Structure 1
Amino acid sequence: MTLPPLRALPVFEAVARLNSFSGAARELNVSQSAISHQIQGLERYLGEALFLRQGRRLVLTDQGRAYRDQISSALQQIERASEDLLGRETARLRLAVLSSFAVRWLIPRLPSLQSRYPDLDVALEMTGEAPELSDRVADCFITISRSSRAFTYDLLYEERLFPICSPAYWERMADALGLDREERRNPDLVLTTAQIARFPLLSTTNIYGRPAGDWEAWFRDSGDALPGSARIQHFSHMLMALEAARFHQGIALTNDYMLSQQDDRESFVRLPGHVLITGDRFYIAHKTSRRNESTVRRLRHWLIQEATASGLMSPQ
């Protein structure tokens, strides 16, 4: 077996992660010259430049980036295997999650996780819709992406969009539509698309990647077209459209996890209208090779249990 200078590998990983020789020196508690010496030795062994200096910035070369991606995972596996044998498995776990899911559903439930597993330290990382699934980014992910065959995916939620507004705005709508008190309380009441279109529609642009894309899809799935006369207010994120609805500015389309708390259910009225299945599915994802780690298993179990208890997911 031919191996590179092993002492240089943690040094390279620290420099690559921190983009800094001095930062790596502080983290590893060695001199900056020692860091430089180790990197130079590794580059000589590999016959490739791993870093480039661009002014004051330190950047990985293409070869350095590829090498980092491969050895980072290997170093983490060595660390975990050693901790297992020593009986000191780390209880810290990095969970990467979409911002809206984190803010509206996950964070309010973290006290339950801390109560169940007080030794489990979960650090949250915000991601976009298609994060890089890699141990270098996080240990576990809540994601709609299934881009890596090396990962295991457990379904948490299949997204549905439905119209909501504030209680005060619903009363205004009901008055405008001529609904009496009995009709307003009728559980079988269903508003037509024409009735919905009479009021300002609060649109979240990034759901379908275009202005009014969410309402266009909702009307189309209902069997109608979005009227050209519809009054639409555009927002880049569902959190913003939800707040506009909270302050009586119109009707927004939202999903189940955005209204998962009791105070949310009291602040909004779910209008009796069509429900759109978007096709987006939210998964808890982790590397398959890590399925037997106790921290991963505990977090996975808790997330599935909470998703079921909150109604996001049907019981298995």
Structure 2
Amino acid sequence: MAYRLPSLTALRAFEAAARLSSFKKAAEELSVTATAISHRIRVLEEDLERCLFLRKVRAVELTAEGEELFTAVHSGFDTIAMAVERLRQPRRASVTLSATPAFATKWLVPRLADFQALHPGINLHIHACDAPVDLQSGNVDLAIRYGNGPYKGLSTTLLLENQFAPMASPQLKAAPLSDIAQWPLIHFDWYLPAGMEVSWNAWLRACGHDEHIAASGIRYSDESHAIQAAIAGQGVAMLSLLLVEEELRLGLLEVVAEPTLKGMSYHLLKCNVARPHQQSEAVAAVENWLIRSACPNLENNEK
């Protein structure tokens, strides 16, 4: 298939300017002039017949079309960078693990020091993305995905089951359940399959309250941002007990009311394809470590 794509030089200039919100900073990163960046982006806009940036005095801001293009271009460059990095280190075992951004940030990253101590000879690359990845392509070795499955054609291991509850900072002093209409609510956008709802609406129904209460509040596009907002005392958020276990332990968050809502499960996925011996051993090491970390009480033979 022949791809009709704009100039790679123009796309690089666009991606840097969009990521840094500045033509000047993009020019410094790419070792060119700001004029050159501006020209390349102008050529790209003319090619696409779309305005990609709103030019302001001290910064630039993406338009809706620019946001759409940036998501695709940034993801593409990220995938290319991962592949190039793997090729640059062929003698060292390298494993790419894909996970949702919130799970990677709140559960996986705090445990990576343990993995590095156990397996200093393995390069573990974390690919954080909400969108499903193609494990058949060979660019990603393992994936942790949130859902109920089934995941056809893939080897699947249940890692963790999830529960949700309304949580807030102890400093917020959330009103009693009878005054829930006074709660400042925090929402975030979900990526859930049809028929699955873990939200304020579902929780209010479970409590016998009017769902119109959930219409108010602040909304975030990312779960991690909603967690930070709750910690900062901005309101009450419907959060995963699994992802905020450390914040609950430290007293940064507290469950303010019952009941809890049953969520979906985190599964470890891999493609059963033949791999070189060293790569196969490295993938198995990561897989075993994840299972041990998710179920620390299970006996594990990992050395």
Name the TM-score class by shorter chain.
0.5 to 0.7
- Which residue of structure 2 aligns with residue 155 of structure 1? 158
- Which residue of structure 2 aligns with residue 283 of structure 1? 267
- Which residue of structure 1 aligns with residue 189 of structure 2? 205
AA matched with 1:204? F
Give TM-score, length-normalised by structure 1: 0.58
Asked if the contact 1:141/1:285 (under 8 Å) is kept, the reply is yes
Deviation per CA, 1:24-74, whole angstroms, max 9, x where unpaired? xxxxxxxxxxxxxxxxxxxxxxxxxx544545369xxxxxxxxxxxxxxxx
Structure-1 separation of matches of 2:193 and 2:226? 15
- Alignment of 1:215 onto 2:215: no
- Distance change in 2, residues 1:53/1:121 (3 Å): same
Asked if the contact 2:92/2:123 (under 8 Å) is kept, the reply is no
Give TM-score, length-normalised by structure 2: 0.60
- Which residue of structure 1 aligns with residue 289 of structure 2? 302
1:200 CA displacement:
1.1
- Distance change in 2, residues 1:51/1:57 (3 Å): farther
- Alignment of 1:245 onto 2:230: yes
RMSD: 3.4
- Distance change in 2, residues 1:94/1:159 (3 Å): same
Structure-2 separation of matches of 1:264 and 1:135? 40
SS class of match (1:158) = strand
- Which residue of structure 1 aligns with residue 75 of structure 2? none
AA matched with 2:7? R
Asked if the contact 1:113/1:302 (under 8 Å) is kept, the reply is yes
Structure-1 separation of matches of 2:150 and 2:134? 8
Asked if the contact 1:154/1:283 (under 8 Å) is kept, the reply is yes
1:257 CA displacement:
3.2
SS class of match (1:257) = coil
Asked if the contact 1:205/1:213 (under 8 Å) is kept, the reply is no
- Distance change in 2, residues 1:215/1:89 (3 Å): same
Residues matched between the structures, number: 214
AA matched with 1:95? L
SS class of match (1:118) = coil
1:315 CA displacement:
5.4
AA matched with 2:188? T
- Which residue of structure 2 aligns with residue 259 of structure 1? 244
Deviation per CA, 1:71-121, whole angstroms, max 9, x where unpaired? xxxxxxxxxxxxxxxxx9852101111111111111111000011111121
- Which residue of structure 1 aligns with residue 7 of structure 2? 56
- Which residue of structure 1 aligns with residue 130 of structure 2? 128
Structure-1 separation of matches of 2:91 and 2:151? 26
Structure-2 separation of matches of 1:229 and 1:129? 27
- Distance change in 2, residues 1:139/1:296 (3 Å): same
- Distance change in 2, residues 1:54/1:163 (3 Å): closer
Alignment of 1:83-162 (within 5 A): 90-144=92-146, 146=149, 148-162=151-165
- Distance change in 2, residues 1:222/1:229 (3 Å): closer
AA matched with 1:56? S
Percent identity among equivalent residues?
Answer: 22
1:266 CA displacement:
2.4
Structure 1 residue runs of 5 or longer lacking an equivalent are 1-49, 59-87, 178-191
SS class of match (1:144) = strand
Alignment of 1:225-244 (within 5 A): 225-228=210-213, 231-244=216-229
Asked if the contact 2:143/2:269 (under 8 Å) is kept, the reply is yes
Alignment of 1:154-173 (within 5 A): 154-169=157-172, 172-173=173-174
Name which one, 1 or 2, has greater alpha-carbon Rg. 1
Structure 2 residue runs of 5 or longer lacking an equivalent are 10-89
1:221 CA displacement:
3.1
SS class of match (2:125) = strand
Asked if the contact 1:92/1:120 (under 8 Å) is kept, the reply is yes
